[in-house]
Amino acid sequence: MSEMRLEKGLHNCRLLWNNVKLFNCKSWNDQKRMVCHGSWGGEKSISISMKPSSEQCVPVFKCRSITEWQEQDNGNQSAHVFAVEFDTLFNAEVRDPNSNHVGIDVNSLVSRVTANAGYYDDGTGEFRNLSLISRRAFQAWVDYDGVATQVTVTMAPLGLPRPKRPLLQAVLDLSDVVRGAPYVGFSSATGILFSRHFVLGWSFALDGPAPALDVAALPALPPAGPKPRSKVLEIVLPVASAALVLAAGIAIYALVRRRLKYAELRDDWEAPFGSHRFSYKDLYHATKGFSDERLLGAGGFGSVYKGVLRKPDMEVAVKKVSHQSRQGMKEFIAEIVSMGRLRHRNLVQLLGYCRRKGELLLVYDYMPNGSLEKFLYDRTKSPLDWPQRFHIIRGVASGLLYLHEDWEQVVIHRDVKASNVLLDGEMNGRLGDFGLARLYDHGDDAHTTHVVGTMGYLAPELGHTGKATPATDVFAFGAFLLEVGCGRRPIEQDEHNNGIVLVDRVMEHWRNGSIVDAIDPRIPNGYNPEEVSLVLKLGLLCLHPLPNARPTMRQFMQCLDGNMILPNMSPAHLDFTLMDRMYGKGFNQNAVSCVSSTSIGSISDLSMGR
């Protein structure tokens, strides 16, 4: 501290504090380095002070509170205290303008004048803010002119020359404030907060300019040092860490669940079929998660859903089929992919497949008008007229001819029936459900397979040979012809649970010369008797118990188009009943899977409204 004396009335005396280098920063320790000058400088600042005693030398922890100051000294003219404060905290009780300002105080914590900490640029005249807590050193000049009774305060960053325009000016006669031999120096206090204020150097003079400071010789700013942990952080950090761990756990769980949700089975042998394989994720989103609103139909071995693929933008039907064994799966997938190359306007296009654990998904073209079966038996739908039925019959026959003779291999469908004939937007009949189909090369013999299919459509020789051939498809097609023409299922139950066989009923009408009377009575707008008679007679020929007596699909098409004379239709040639032929020659019911679909399942529901 420096001691000086100021006599009242000595107006030509000039009191200067010049080139005071200050630094102020918030910290959490080392508070004992500060010096408290009473309560001047407040609980939150550092100040350049003049006071008639040396009480400022007491340690900071003995500083009086702001309340004590206000009660005893604030506004007391006998306090004889003058100070320039550099304040870093806002206190509304003493009318602070903000938390970064400079003020001139006289006997009071309420500053006479204040200004935001900063300086005026000599070149542009613009005001530039300075932060008192930025850990950047600055310098301040405090001048008192006893003649003009004026105090000026100027500040600038350390190293810059003193600005020409001061930050603060106040008309003030210090001879009324400072009496005797006052002490000049610094004081600081922080209240409930911890701060460190550093005075890197200062100079003082009376009646002349204070000596300039050598900036290069000033001590370096002490390092900030480690800060003790905040109580707030002690609470927030564990909570935030726990929340982060929880969020990471949830994210990992969601990722694992997502991968399991879309998991697929892939084997090396499937590599050549990659272009025919759909991702389960795409099918899942296409069917809205296989939701009930997309369900088209359900059978004993699976369900069919409508799907809308994004890339490419197209509607599909997705059949979910359960499978628990991998035995024969390689061969089956190979045949599925091969049949995906079939191209005919009267076949439902098989697009590809997807395989998951315990589940196989087959993807087909979507048929908007559903299965033919609905139009034959659903009383809520308008019945098909005869031209529509004849057009559908011809289309299915054309598709079967393509499978049997016109493709690169022989394709045996093995499940021809009305529920597997689907109708596109133009009511064209398309044969679907290739889940049971088998392939072999032209000229080769058919392989023996497990007999599967639907009773009433199964050829009697299957019980003896176990071989599916074009002739067995023709037999099922004959049952289909009678089903479409008569509007009845091949085998039905009467009220007494007796079996009624459709072929026997039509045969009886044929014997009586009234085969046209077997037609579906619900057919609207009349019909062509010659076409009806031709279709039903061809149906009987296709249902002949002897395979060699049945027409081929090419012969059927020629007869239908009038390019071939109808084969022998004598009573001796057609003297049979279906049930007698089936069970009279060893066709054991136990040898037949008499269900509407097989372990692979029917694709009869590739449309809406089942």
| Overall pTM surpassing 0.85 (yes/no) | no
Nearest by Cα to 155 from 223, 205, 79, 104:
104
Nearest by Cα to 507 from 560, 567, 573:
573
Mean pLDDT, rounded, of the chain: 77
Nearest by Cα to 564 from 596, 541, 545, 547:
541
Nearest by Cα to 415 from 200, 598, 570, 196:
598
Q: Is pLDDT above 80 for 303?
A: yes
The pLDDT value given to residue 69? 47
User: 380 or 228: which carries more pLDDT confidence?
Assistant: 380
Asked about 268 being catalytic, the answer comes back as no
The pLDDT value given to residue 477? 98
- Read off the tokens for 134: 């930025």
- Beta-strand pair 35-36/58-59: antiparallel
CB 372 within 8 A of CB 420: no
The pLDDT value given to residue 334? 67
Q: How far apart are CA 423 and CA 430, in angstroms?
A: 6
Using alpha carbons, list the distances in angstroms from residue 370 to 241, 291, 307, 343. Answer: 57, 19, 14, 20
Q: Is pLDDT above 50 for 21?
A: no
- Mean pLDDT, range 61-87, rounded to an integer: 60
Give per-residue pLDDT as tens, 324-336: 545 456 666 766 7
User: 112 or 1: which carries more pLDDT confidence?
Assistant: 112
CB 41 within 8 A of CB 35: no
User: 297 or 276: which carries more pLDDT confidence?
Assistant: 297
User: 487 or 1: which carries more pLDDT confidence?
Assistant: 487
* Single-letter residue type at 444: D
9 pLDDT band, cuts 50/70/90, is very low
Q: Is pLDDT above 80 for 350?
A: yes
User: 312 or 72: which carries more pLDDT confidence?
Assistant: 312
CATH of 369-594, one of 3.40.50.2020, 3.30.420.80, 1.10.510.10, 1.10.3720.10: 1.10.510.10
First to last CA, the chain: 102
Q: What percent of the chain has pLDDT over 70?
A: 73
- Mean pLDDT, range 128-152, rounded to an integer: 88
The pLDDT value given to residue 587? 41
The pLDDT value given to residue 557? 96
Q: Is pLDDT above 60 for 66?
A: no
For 354-390, the DSSP string reads EEETTEEEEEEE--TT-BHHHHHH-TTSPPP-HHHHH
Least confident of 8-22, 177-191, 243-257: 8-22
Binding residues for ATP, as ranges, are 320
- Residue range 2-210 in CATH 3.40.50.300: no
Q: Is pLDDT above 80 for 602?
A: no
592 pLDDT band, cuts 50/70/90, is very low
- Mean pLDDT, range 191-213, rounded to an integer: 77
Q: How far apart are CA 144 and CA 124, in angstroms?
A: 27
Give per-residue pLDDT as tens, 398-453: 999 999 999 999 999 988 999 999 999 999 999 988 777 888 888 877 666 777 77
Give per-residue pLDDT as tens, 206-253: 777 778 888 888 888 777 666 666 677 778 888 888 899 988 888 887
Per domain, the residue ranges of the chain are 2-210, 369-594
- Mean pLDDT, range 55-68, rounded to an integer: 38
- Read off the tokens for 232: 């707030």
The pLDDT value given to residue 5? 30
Using alpha carbons, list the distances in angstroms from residue 285 to 234, 279, 311. Answer: 46, 10, 12
127 pLDDT band, cuts 50/70/90, is very high
Q: How far apart are CA 539 and CA 478, in angstroms?
A: 4
35 pLDDT band, cuts 50/70/90, is very low
Q: Is pLDDT above 80 for 475?
A: yes
Least confident of 151-160, 186-195, 400-409, 520-529: 186-195
Least confident of 42-51, 166-175, 421-430: 42-51
Q: How far apart are CA 44 and CA 51, in angstroms?
A: 19
Q: Is pLDDT above 60 for 545?
A: yes
Catalytic residue among 365, 415, 433, 520: 415
The pLDDT value given to residue 430? 96
